[in-house]
Amino acid sequence: MSESGRGPLTGSDWLNLPYGKIYSELEEAQDECNNHDANVQSVKGALSTKQGTDEHGRKIVKAYCEASQKKNAQQKSSEDMYCNVVYYWIGDTLYNVLDEGSNNFSDLMSRVYSILRGEYAENKCDIVYKDGIDKDLFGYRKKVYEFSQNYEEIQQQLRRHIQKCDENYFDNLKAAEEAFSAVLTDCNGKIDPYCMQFKNTFDVSNGQIPLTLSYNGSSKSKGESDQEVTVYNNVQLKLNFASKANPTATIVSSILGIAGLPTITFFLYKRQQRKE
């Protein structure tokens, strides 16, 4: 990882953004609910076409249980943030066991959530979006979600490193820009809950992509392993919000899952408790 104010941002800096840490926390979830083993087997059955499904099933059940239990202990206004986090985490886990471009993604998500919700009826997290999307579109939506969550920290990182980053970090910024473009294209003419919230949250007037990314030239430099790396200079990005939206409020609370600091605090606090 590059030191604050020294050298360009690297891929390690990207992995250490807040939501990278939260996903790591879900990977390590230890909470168990009633009929844990039976539900693991049921989820495993839904994923039966791929190797390693037992471990996937176990992780999904534990992560869902932890998020649902935490949601149940919070006030109603805080419920969505926990369910949004686990929705994207479960979706990412399923994403990795499906073939590229698979049209079975929504069906698989529905089956898995049906298994989980059937057991934890009182403190359940419902599936966040029920529209039929494929694996690729989910991947784009997930990138939009993660970038929105990490946006302020990304801006701070860039300021600390004089608006410079290496190719790995820049590729992640480009992927986010492409994700916003793909979601915007998909939402053209649609009025489902996700697309309506997307349009009401971000500035998509005249069909413009909400996220803009630019840089002023690149150069070669020695990386941490003394290998030559490409450095992008004067990297600038801006996430444009709809004029009627309050940017701060939008980042903190949104149906898109832009939950903000309280969610991050919860998961990192849980991890610290376990260490103690």
**Which pLDDT does position 162 carry in this prediction?**
95
Residue 256 has pLDDT above 60, yes or no: no
- Mapped onto helix, strand or coil, the DSSP state of residue 53 is helix
Give the model confidence (pLDDT) of 21-72 as tens digits.
777 777 777 666 655 566 667 777 776 655 456 677 888 888 888 777 777 6
The gap between the terminal CA atoms of the chain, to the nearest Å, is 26
pLDDT at 129 over 90: no
pTM here is 0.79
Do 213 and 177 contact (CB within 8 A), yes or no? yes
Measured CA to CA, the distance from residue 15 to residue 36 in angstroms comes to 31
Pairwise CA distance, residues 204 & 89, whole Å: 27
From the CB of residue 41, how many other CB atoms can be counted at a distance below 10 Å?
15
Q: pLDDT tens-digit profile of 172-216? A: 999 999 999 999 999 999 999 999 989 999 999 888 999 999 999
- What's the pLDDT score for residue 253? 39
